[in-house]
Amino acid sequence: MSFTNAPVTRSLVYGLIGISIGASLLDIKHYFYILVDLHLWQFHQIWRALIYQLCYTNSTEVLFAAMTLYNMRAVERMWGSRKFATFIFVTSLFTSWLVPAVLALFLRPLTLGLFNYLPAGPTPIIFAVLAQYHAMIPPIYKYKIATSTSTSTSTDDQTQGITFSDKSYRYLLAFQLALFQWPGSLLGALVGWMLGLSWRMEVLPRSLIRWRLPGWVVGMRTQGRSQEFEGLRRRLEGENGSTAATSGAQGQADAEGGRRRTMGQQVIDQFQGAF
């Protein structure tokens, strides 16, 4: 259990826990959630949209969010810290205004003011990362929970039941996080998931997807050194490709030569090599 090669995820987990505890100790939790009619329409507190994802106001939500982020640290390891930090930054910018806008301009009027509350917490960001985790990380193993008590000697494949994988409990944690303060938390989860899929399918502008934060944000000392490693990686890939092509051509030539020679010629070649 470690955050090896995942410094951005470590900062997210520690920051979320620290800010949530600080907001509770300082008694400022009431600044982080949004009531559309009161905070946005009456007092015009637009700044709440910029800070509502900084912390949770419930200790249970903090626990589930920290566990979910920790379980998804493999995304940063596969992407690299710089790309992952860029994804978190871009996602937070979109969700900071998109979720309150959908709630205030669409859901609240359609429900006649019933949907009016947006809870605090980075649930949209977590579900955007979860969309990447779902697409990138394959399950290691699967298991089935039988739902029938059949006494027939049927095979395991024919047994009626529900199939789970080692990733199922991670989805369960996130699903509970989306339902803690629904419908606001569920709205944030859906918007975050759709935004993560949009990034994955390159629906967003290509220039935005290819843009990266400066290297010093994630601890890179110099940009030149990262470019040096990138150039080394490309050269190694080129050498491996050329070596594989050469080996394949040589093996094909040897095979064709072996087909042309008779069995007696091959035996003579073996004795000539020995002497």
Q: Where are the domains of the chain?
A: 7-136+172-220, 228-274
* DSSP β-bridge partners for residue 34: 118
Nearest-5° Cα angle at 126, 123 to 130: 135
Q: Give the pLDDT confidence score for residue 142 in this predicted structure.
A: 83
Q: Is-contact 177 61, C-beta < 8 A?
A: yes
pLDDT digits 0-9 by tens, 198-249: 999 988 888 888 899 888 888 876 444 555 555 666 666 666 655 555 555 5
Percent of the chain with pLDDT over 70: 75
Q: Give the pLDDT confidence score for residue 275 in this predicted structure.
A: 46
pTM equals: 0.76
Q: Which two tokens stand for residue 195?
A: 């935004």
Confidence of residue 93 (pLDDT cuts 50, 70, 90): very high
**Sign of torsion over alpha carbons 125, 75, 61, 168:** positive
CATH class in words for 7-136+172-220: mainly alpha
**CA-wise closest residue to 92 among 84, 103, 104, 80:** 84
Give me the long-range contacts of 200-206 (CB less than 8 A, separation at least 24).
200/131, 200/132, 200/135
Q: Give the pLDDT confidence score for residue 24 in this predicted structure.
A: 93
Exposure letters 181-208 (e unless 16+ CB within 10 A, then b): bebbbbbbbbbbbbbbeebbeeeeeeee
Q: Which of 35-39, 189-193, 236-240 has the lowest mean pLDDT?
A: 236-240
pLDDT digits 0-9 by tens, 58-80: 999 999 999 999 999 999 999 99
